[in-house]
Structure 1
Amino acid sequence: MRDRLVTAAERVVAETGGDALARGVYALIRENSVEVRIYLHPAGERWRDMSTAEVTRLWRAALGGEIAGLESLRFAADAGGPGRGPQVSVELSHRDLATLERATEALARELEAFASVRDVDDGFEAGKVQLDFRIADEARSLGLDAAAIAAQVRARFYGAEAIKQQRGRNEVTVKVRLPADERTSQSDVERMILITPDGGEVPLYQVARVVPGRADTAIVRRDGRRVVTASANVEPIGETGRILAALTEDILPRITVDVPGLSHSFEGRQATMRDAMNAFFRSAGISLLVIYVLLAIPFRSYVQPLIVMTAIPFGFVGAVLGHQIMGYSLSIISVMGIIALSGVVINGALVMIDYANTCRGEGQDPEEAIWNAGVRRFRPILLTTLTTFGGLAPMIFETSRQARFLIPMALSLGYGIVFATAIVLVLIPSLYMMIEDIRSLGRKAAAQVIPLRPTTDLPEVAADAGAPRRLDAAE
């Protein structure tokens, strides 16, 4: 397998620039897995500036179709840095291992049905072949348990420590085990003679049954339950959302119904994004509260800060549109840019409302005040927006691969503030007049006086019957 991978990698390198593309091919065998890497030159120095994803695609095509006996195969163009790993990772959990294996196989078959899914791995690895011992009842009657039988089998095949000798500065351990011709087959194991606690001898096949099996390469548990992660890559990566939606709405619910007791969760990149979004909502809540307090103090109003903060949702919409226009997917870096955007996008609404309040203090009516604010503050708001976008433009339109890590944040800030400003110039005056109209209606309702009906059925009261008298100065 290593030779096939290395040959395919070397052929891709030779056909796409040779030494001008890559510095070499590296291969490493770890027990039952093989890792092969192509070390490319830094971005900008490669032949035709070929991307890592393009080299990976050519490598996969050069390897050909399925390989017999291969458990799983994965090509990765993002082996390092944040956001690495398969685009889809689903963790399944069940108390029965056989049931869990069937569920992961069913999920893998569903993923393979998508044309954009590559490198599907059901998460199960057969591991190395081993011999399992099933202890019979006769062993217990002879005083042998699993630990005693395992210790004798290990000593005969791996070796038992006989003596340690000092040779200069080194300590030499001498182990004793069966001759090589007596430990070459499964029958040698079954015919092995065991020593009972009372000194007797008994063949292994009389006290234990030898069953061929496989060793687990890894055992992963979560909350005491065995878990297996099925994963896959998606090309193009923009199709990941559609695959996840199909898993959430159709495939996983159907498998859960067919396999009672099965639980599932998205891990890997999805878990990272989920944690980032939870942190985003917490940070966004705190940020919005702080912004509201800082606006309410100078405005001396509970409503006007809300008018200013209406620009924030439109900034989010602009950030999403910017990613779609530039062909980028939302990422954790994009979320960080959106958080920063919430404090920048309110500047235009803030200066407009502040100028309107100043005009109101000079005696202007609300309509005239907000009209003057829109006219007098249009140029500063527009210039501030354009200069902000202009400052971010070099990063947004940068083509080097070193800048791709920060481009999503620049997209969120640049396109978010442009879109929000276009909406704010129309929306803020409208909201301002709506609030003033509501206040005017409230004042009119409070100013109305409801007349009382005169009371004619009460008896007249004499003027001098306890009524206070007015004293003249002469008296």
Structure 2
Amino acid sequence: NREITEQAADQLAGRITNPGNTFTMARQYPEEVDTYHIRFITERIMQLGLSERQVIDFMESRARGNMITEWNREDESIALRLFTSRDTGFDPGDIRIPVRGRSVPVREIATISRVPELQQLERIDQAPVLSYVTSLSLADWWFNKEDIRRQLTAFTRDTGIQVRVGGSAVQVDKLLRDMGTLLLISLILIYIILAIQYENLKYPIIILFAVPFAWVGSIFLLWAAGSTLNTLSLMGVLILTGIAVNDAILKVDFMRRYLAETGNLDEAIRQAGLHRFRPVVMTTLTTTLGLLPMVIPVGDGYEFRQALGLALMGGMITSTLLTLYLIPLIFKWVETITSGRKIPEAEPIPEIVPKY
């Protein structure tokens, strides 16, 4: 019952509280149109030797026309229909059906009533529903969803009316949580592989510091390019988790080996910068240039591949820049703490005395 459902929606809007913002609800499809309800007189139709299906097909051809062909233009398909001439004031009761050499108006074989109805009808599991749009944003749902769900459960318990929450905010919330779980799993797997390779627990941690740097670059480039955080861009961030550690592995592995051979931490960092700078930059440059065609806005559906390319390119650039400078600092800090080395104090700046 639509009337009862609308009253329940008004009650729900008055009961839900959203901390910090006003909660409002509005019908998603509020427009109504005039419709015709047609009830056939079965006895009269049978007397004329017709069936209800024949009458419906004939009325549909007069109202919507007969589709004679489809015109395909690029990626668009246009249906061409043939209409009979009719006046502006269309009344289905005036449609005349040819029967046995004469024409019979529809109003003689059916009762027709004019009733306002919703422009768009929705169904879930074959049951009619009414959809409402709320003022809740993604941030509201992200931080207050448990409280909102408790209020909806209390409303269902008190009224017996079931309320389903959906929309883009719920979908994005679920997507972010699923991707967060996948990112955590990928980080754990990378850490386990590196720990087995190095037989050490501290070096994998140093290498994994490159991953947050890559995430920052991905989000920044997506924002700068006006793209959105969608499924493909999040897939790019997930793929980037495995790519971003490559440069850090080159640096950390060289510093670790040089330090084990010489015992000189500062020289190990300096030599790693000299010998690994070019391979790191070349690897990033070739990967970034290879991804460049993905971000060019050409062709159908380029927005999808563009989001993936932007996420990968932004993460590769920032990960490389920060790996070259911050990973050596983190390496020195971790080695100093774990090995008991003393951080050398900075030499005092000599005072310059002018000569007169």
TM over 0.5: yes
Aligned residue number for residue 236 of structure 2: 337
Distance 1:129 1:414, change over 3 A: same
**Contact preservation (8 Å) 1:318, 1:416:** yes
**Contact preservation (8 Å) 2:227, 2:307:** yes
**Contact preservation (8 Å) 2:13, 2:25:** no
Distance 1:323 1:427, change over 3 A: same
Aligned residue number for residue 237 of structure 1: none
| Counterpart among 28, 35, 50 of residue 121 in structure 1 | 28
Q: Which amino acid aligns with 2:204?
A: P
Residues 153-191 of structure 1: CA distance to partner in whole angstroms, max 9, x if unpaired? Answer: x9x95459999x9xxxxxxxxxxxxxx7797589xxxxx
CA distance in 1, matches of 2:13, 2:339: 68
Aligned residue number for residue 155 of structure 2: 261
| Counterpart among 82, 102, 108 of residue 10 in structure 2 | 102
**Contact preservation (8 Å) 2:214, 2:244:** yes
Which sections of structure 1, spanning at least 5 residues, go unmatched? Answer: 1-95, 113-119, 132-153, 166-179, 187-211, 233-239, 444-475
CA distance in 1, matches of 2:202, 2:332: 12
Which secondary structure state, in structure 2, belongs to the residue aligned with residue 329 of structure 1?
coil
Distance 1:100 1:111, change over 3 A: closer
Aligned residue number for residue 218 of structure 2: 319
Aligned residue number for residue 310 of structure 1: 209
CA distance in 2, matches of 1:433, 1:368: 11
How many pairs are equivalent? 267
Residues 94-144 of structure 1: CA distance to partner in whole angstroms, max 9, x if unpaired? Answer: xx624334369999x9578xxxxxxx724797996879xxxxxxxxxxxxx
CA distance in 2, matches of 1:230, 1:306: 48
**Contact preservation (8 Å) 1:220, 1:226:** yes
**Contact preservation (8 Å) 2:210, 2:244:** yes
CA distance in 2, matches of 1:420, 1:309: 11
Residues 30-80 of structure 1: CA distance to partner in whole angstroms, max 9, x if unpaired? Answer: xxxxxxxxxxxxxxxxxxxxxxxxxxxxxxxxxxxxxxxxxxxxxxxxxxx
CA distance in 1, matches of 2:177, 2:12: 28
**Contact preservation (8 Å) 2:248, 2:323:** yes
CA distance in 2, matches of 1:350, 1:388: 17
Query: Pairwise CA RMSD of aligned residues?
Result: 4.7
**Contact preservation (8 Å) 1:123, 1:228:** no
**Contact preservation (8 Å) 2:32, 2:116:** no
Matches within 5 A, 1:49-448: 97-102=5-10, 121-122=28-29, 157-158=41-42, 184=111, 217-220=121-124, 228-231=130-133, 244-245=138-139, 261=155, 267-441=166-340
CA distance in 1, matches of 2:168, 2:185: 26
Task: Give how far 1:413 is off.
Answer: 0.6
Task: Give how far 1:271 is off.
Answer: 4.3
CA distance in 1, matches of 2:152, 2:239: 46
**Contact preservation (8 Å) 1:323, 1:412:** yes
Which piece of structure 1 moves more, 398-407 or 376-385? 398-407
Q: Which amino acid aligns with 1:337?
A: G
Which secondary structure state, in structure 2, belongs to the residue aligned with residue 406 of structure 1?
helix
Aligned residue number for residue 40 of structure 1: none
Q: Which amino acid aligns with 1:121?
A: Q
**Contact preservation (8 Å) 1:389, 1:414:** yes
Q: Which amino acid aligns with 2:277?
A: F
Which secondary structure state, in structure 2, belongs to the residue aligned with residue 261 of structure 1?
helix
Distance 1:259 1:303, change over 3 A: closer
Which sections of structure 2, spanning at least 5 residues, go unmatched? Answer: 17-22, 50-106, 157-161, 343-356
CA distance in 1, matches of 2:30, 2:319: 46
CA distance in 2, matches of 1:361, 1:126: 81
Identity of aligned residues (%): 24
CA distance in 2, matches of 1:221, 1:124: 23
**Contact preservation (8 Å) 2:138, 2:173:** no
**Contact preservation (8 Å) 1:385, 1:421:** yes
Distance 1:329 1:218, change over 3 A: closer
Task: Give how far 1:356 is off.
Answer: 0.9
Residues 303-345 of structure 1: CA distance to partner in whole angstroms, max 9, x if unpaired? Answer: 1101101111111110011111212111111011111100111
Which secondary structure state, in structure 2, belongs to the residue aligned with residue 318 of structure 1?
helix
Task: Give how far 1:275 is off.
Answer: 3.9
CA distance in 1, matches of 2:153, 2:177: 30
Distance 1:185 1:271, change over 3 A: closer
CA distance in 1, matches of 2:300, 2:306: 10
CA distance in 1, matches of 2:305, 2:110: 61
Q: Which amino acid aligns with 1:261?
A: F
Task: Give how far 1:387 is off.
Answer: 1.7
Greater helix content: 2
**Contact preservation (8 Å) 1:105, 1:122:** no
